[in-house]
Amino acid sequence: MPVNAETVLVANRAQYNPKQLPAVFFQNAGGAGAARGAGAVPPASLDVQQRPSAMTLRIPPAVTPGPYQIGVGDVLLLATKRSGNTVEELSGLLAAQNARQGYTVQDDGAIAIPDVGRVVLEGLTLEEAEAQLFQSLVQSQIDPTFSLEIAEFNSKRVSLGGAVSNPTVAPIRLTPLYLDEALAVAGGISTEDLDFASIRIYRDGTLYQIPLEEYLRRGDLQKVRLVDGDSVFVDTEFELDKAQAYFEEQITLAQFRQQARVQALAELNAEVNLRRASLTEARSNFKDRVDFDAVDRDFVYLTGEVSKPGRFTMPFGRQASLADAIYSDSGFTAETANPSQIYVLRGSSNPADFGAVTAWHLDARNAANMTLATRFEMQPNDIVFIAEQPITRWNRAFRQIFPLLINSANVATNG
């Protein structure tokens, strides 16, 4: 069957799925998981810096924490009726109230009421706490007539230090705590250096800065709202020598978090390296098996006037063309091979036609026909045969006959 554009389509109808490389060649060592640990490192407040021409203003973001929530350490006062059995049942509670003593929210978030038991109030607003107490009193069959108030606010605090008259800890109460009020609780700012003095607020691992001149000039800066856990430090030296001692605990904690992150990254790198080594070993083992011909492969066989008769190994993962097979080992030479007699011999895949062979004939005397060879898809066990030139056939026959003629002539002459 001659090879042309139409017959190439017919030949390529045969279904062939190229053998694939093992999955290990398509895997990578990444994707082992994200690094664990803390977030960003806090600002380098311990470094020695030169005094700038102007102080940088870094205002903390506005916050709206919502209604006050009762926390561990808060002291609650509970007032109830003094008449009837209720007074007797709550005599201990009423005595404590008369002595201006309340109930401290303990570390489990609850207060202990006689004849009622432990009532968890941590995390509740005052209104929610009243509802919880009402339910507990009713369940204990106690007159639920009472009033509740917070006597001492100990769970939410803001610390103040540095150049203030009285370094202290200011509690956050039912009403918002603003920066000017907190500084007033600490006795006000005590410094004569207005040019380079600043108010620094340490919040959630971030250091904010308000130059003192800006603070005194702008009312909105005086009304910066503080939240639980804020640390306020009035600094009179730009090198932050005093701030270093004040923030030592917070910065040390941030360093621990950063160290945990570094350790997590090291573990991740070690895991990636182990996976990469395992993949490399598996790929190397497969390559060795290929070199020792221990892997099942598909072949096309080359014979006739080719540069090197043998077999052409079908590639992994893609189709191979007739041109790939012919030129896999330097192709053929036109001195002995006949380019007009290139054949692809293909056996039938139908068991009923066992032994039937189709011979595809490519005439490559026209170089344009070689483009068909790049489109002709090979199948396993195809045989590529290139016939010899007529002159090559005569030349070989002559080389075999000529010595016999010489020998015959010598025998006749000598005889």
| Beta bridge partners of residue 234, listed in sequence order | 162, 199
> Which token pair is 236?
């009179």
Structurally, at CATH architecture level, domain 75-152 sits in 2-Layer Sandwich (3.30)
pLDDT band for position 41 (50/70/90)?
Answer: very low
- Quote the pLDDT of residue 240: 45
Residue with tokens 């939240």: 227
Residue with tokens 């009423």: 94
Residue 160: half-sphere exposure toward Cβ, Cα within 13 Å: 27
3-state SS class at 221: helix
Class for domain 157-246, per CATH? alpha beta
Euclidean distance between CA atoms 298 and 72, whole angstroms: 76
Q: Would you say residue 19 has pLDDT above 60?
A: yes
Which of 152, 158, 150 is CA-nearest to residue 179? 158
Segments in 107-211 forming alpha helices (H): 126-139, 179-185
Structurally, at CATH architecture level, domain 5-19+296-393 sits in Roll (3.10)
Is residue 170 a contact partner of residue 164, using CB atoms and an 8 Å limit? no
- What type of residue is 54? A
Q: Which of 30-44, 45-59, 186-200 has the highest mean pLDDT?
A: 186-200
Domain ranges of the chain: 5-19+296-393, 23-37+251-291, 75-152, 157-246
Which of 393, 379, 371, 309 is CA-nearest to residue 344? 379
Q: What is the mean pLDDT of residues 221-236?
A: 90
Q: What is the mean pLDDT of residues 267-277?
A: 86
Euclidean distance between CA atoms 175 and 68, whole angstroms: 8
- Quote the pLDDT of residue 406: 61
Q: How far apart are the first and last CA of the chain?
A: 56
Q: What are phi and psi of 335, to 5 degrees?
A: -70, -35
Which of 172, 137, 145 is CA-nearest to residue 158? 172
**Percent of the chain residues topping a pLDDT of 70:** 78
Is residue 208 a contact partner of residue 60, using CB atoms and an 8 Å limit? yes
| Beta bridge partners of residue 142, listed in sequence order | none
Euclidean distance between CA atoms 379 and 365, whole angstroms: 24
**Would you say the pTM of this structure is higher than 0.85?**
no
Q: What is the mean pLDDT of residues 105-115?
A: 88
- Quote the pLDDT of residue 414: 63
The tens digit of pLDDT for each residue in 357-389 reads: 889 999 888 888 889 989 999 999 999 998 887
50 vs 291, which has greater pLDDT? 291
Euclidean distance between CA atoms 180 and 216, whole angstroms: 10
- What type of residue is 44? A
Q: Would you say residue 38 has pLDDT above 90?
A: no
List, in order, residues 6 or more apart from 214 with CB less than 8 Å away: 55, 57, 221
Which of 175, 164, 207 is CA-nearest to residue 46? 207
Is residue 157 a contact partner of residue 169, using CB atoms and an 8 Å limit? yes
State the Cα angle at 401 between 398 and 403, rounded to 5°: 110
Is residue 300 a contact partner of residue 76, using CB atoms and an 8 Å limit? no
- Quote the pLDDT of residue 51: 56
Among 34-48, 258-272, 371-385, 391-405, the least confident range: 34-48
Fold identical between 75-152 and 157-246? no
